[in-house]
């Protein structure tokens, strides 16, 4: 009995395997955390790519001549983002002294400040690598940009 008691006392003081056991308890939590951060970062990267595509399309509109037909901007944005044209929304409007008018071709009265705007929104479906739940759905992300043309 004394041998067993001595062995248990020595085992109680022995801390050689403690760090391995602690790591085994913490490793799954760290793994899930790393995978989650990677998915989150991928989503942000996709969003920034959509915003860059919207900005590129608006650059082309800003460099081009003044026009009321900016339908080519939708095609440019869709091509830059790699999405179908139906995923791109284009809005253009004119403001007279800060008041939005009903049509883009509306003329402002003399002495009013004229401002013409163009807005592009691109929506894309993002599929995370890690399915957090069995009912996980793809996430719609969007990138948008606006520019004042006049």
Strand-pairing partners, residue 146, are 119
- How high is the pLDDT of residue 68? 62
pTM: 0.74
Domain ranges across the chain: 17-148
What is the DSSP track for 101-120?
A: -SSTTPPPPTTPPEEEEEEE
CB atoms within 10 A of CB 141: 17
Tens of each residue's pLDDT in the chain, 150 residues? 688 888 888 877 777 778 888 889 999 999 989 988 998 899 899 999 999 999 998 888 777 655 667 778 888 899 998 999 999 999 888 888 888 887 777 788 888 888 888 899 999 998 888 777 777 788 889 999 988 887
């Amino acid at each position: 009995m004394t041998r067993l008691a001595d062995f248990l006392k020595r085992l109680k003081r022995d801390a050689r395997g403690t760090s391995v056991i602690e790591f085994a308890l913490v490793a799954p939590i760290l793994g899930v955390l790393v995978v989650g951060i990677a998915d989150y970062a991928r989503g942000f990267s996709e969003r920034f790519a959509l915003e860059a595509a919207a900005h590129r399309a608006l650059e082309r509109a800003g460099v081009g001549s003044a026009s009321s037909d900016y339908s080519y901007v939708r095609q440019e944005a869709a091509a830059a983002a790699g999405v179908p044209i139906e995923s791109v929304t284009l809005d253009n409007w004119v403001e007279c002294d800060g008041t939005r008018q009903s049509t883009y071709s509306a003329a402002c009265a003399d002495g009013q400040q004229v401002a013409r705007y163009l807005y592009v929104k691109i929506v894309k479906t993002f599929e995370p690598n890690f399915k957090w739940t069995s009912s996980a759905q793809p996430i719609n992300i969007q990138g948008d940009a606006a520019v004042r043309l006049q």
